[in-house]
Amino acid sequence: MPDPIMSLLSPFAPMFERGTWEKVKVMIVGAILAPGKRTVSAILRVMGLSEISDFAKYHHVLSRAVWSGLEVSRVLLGLLLLHLDRGHEPLVFGIDETIERRWGHKIAARGIYRDAVRSSQSHLVKASGLRWVSLMWLARIPWAQHIWALPFLTVLAPSERYYARSVRQPKKLTDWARQMLYQLRRWLPHRAIIVVGDNTYAVLDLLHDCQSLANPITMIARLRLDAALYEPAPPPTGKPGRPRKKGKRLPTLQAVLGDPLTVWHSITLRWYDGKERTMDITSATAVWFHNGKPPVAIRWVLVRDPLDEYDPLALLCTDLTCTPLDVVQCFVQRWQLEVTFEEVRAHLGVETQRQWSDLAIARTTPALLGLFSWVTLAAHLLHSRSALPVRRAAWYAKSLPTFSDAIASVRYHLWPRSPIFCMSPFDPDIVKLPRSLAVRLVDTLCYAA
């Protein structure tokens, strides 16, 4: 295989036994080359191993072999930072959950969830499947000239029904998020970290825990318009009794939004669609407090569209020194998480795998999400000195590469290494094809979803 691809594979070798590692390499390359389903059987077929008698050993890589998915995540994050980190800016991460639609009575962690993609405010759609929480690095890809969300750590978050048959207490999404963020801080103890999430992660306990670390993690999330905001607590008076946690009650953001005396500032920023938009913005600091919960000092930011094409947006940031513009720009980048979830379904076969054992299920989907980041990094190294080719057509004008071009580029470098392209005169089974037909076949294979 090409040197850039081998340089991205070799750091993972020490985490596997030698025999397991040889199978892992086959499965990684097969998962990239295989069109359609990403089952182990499909991977063996595309790698020319459909006739081997010990095919079960490849299934055992996911269901029985001893290796740590957490260590794989750590190495993957290290590779991403090594090749794409600018080194002088805070690292911005996004956290979000997605539903992998799966059916089957043998899938113990399966639950019934609200399908956020198909649901609306007036129409509720439920989906049966597995709920995954994924932590992604929001990194700027030079050849794409855009921010991409690169997954490196994904965990399974079952519903409360899963814990009904266990003595363990149910874990909330915020509990899983807290563990993931603590792990991220252990991996990056000295870097400035910003984590962006939706209103699911705007929870006082989670915000307080991240704010209380020795090296705090800055959280940016969507805030309720009716959140109870207060002035900071006054200094202690020295009198007996418990010190105050909050000061005077402040108007809600809904009241600020409708107040004609609110001072708005007009700013221009890159919005969700990638275009520059002019928005009105106002911001201040406050203490968010609820009875029985720890108080959290936040900077709130209120955004409204002067053209009324978008609903007002309220955000919070646990770093009071952040500028309102930085808060909004970081939050807008969160949309790339949804793009990544769609790309892994379209090009890496998420929701097509058919494992039934708990361990294989817990490993396969995080591996496919991590493969998105690995393929992006491989394309980056393969075209470090040249532009990544973009597939165009008379009816489809595209100026910048997308993930379909990235995975096609990696496939272009993997397919010629296959023995089917060997033109040795000692092999009587070689069939010569016209160059135009061979190019067309390779192009079709490389861009197959």
pLDDT in tens, 136-192: 999 999 999 899 999 999 999 998 888 877 777 888 999 999 999 999 999 999 999
Say yes or no to pLDDT of 420 above 50.
no
Backbone angles phi, psi at 326, to 5 degrees: -65, -40
Q: Give the per-residue pLDDT at 365.
A: 95
Q: Give the per-residue pLDDT at 447.
A: 75
Q: What is the pTM of this model?
A: 0.90
Task: Answer whether 30's CB lies under 8 Å from 38's CB.
Answer: no
Say yes or no to pLDDT of 8 above 70.
yes
All structural domains of the chain with their residue ranges: 213-323, 403-446
Q: Give the per-residue pLDDT at 429.
A: 64
pLDDT in tens, 312-364: 999 999 999 999 999 999 999 999 999 999 999 999 999 998 888 899 999 99
pLDDT in tens, 91-129: 999 999 999 998 888 888 888 888 877 787 788 888 889
pLDDT in tens, 30-66: 999 888 899 999 899 888 888 888 899 999 999 999 9
Q: Give the per-residue pLDDT at 405.
A: 92
Task: Answer whether 183's CB lies under 8 Å from 70's CB.
Answer: yes
Distance CA(156)–CA(249), nearest Å, equals 40
**Residue count of the chain:** 449
pLDDT in tens, 120-133: 778 888 888 999 99
Share of the chain above pLDDT 90, in %: 63
Q: What is the mean pLDDT of residues 404-421?
A: 78
Say yes or no to pLDDT of 272 above 90.
no
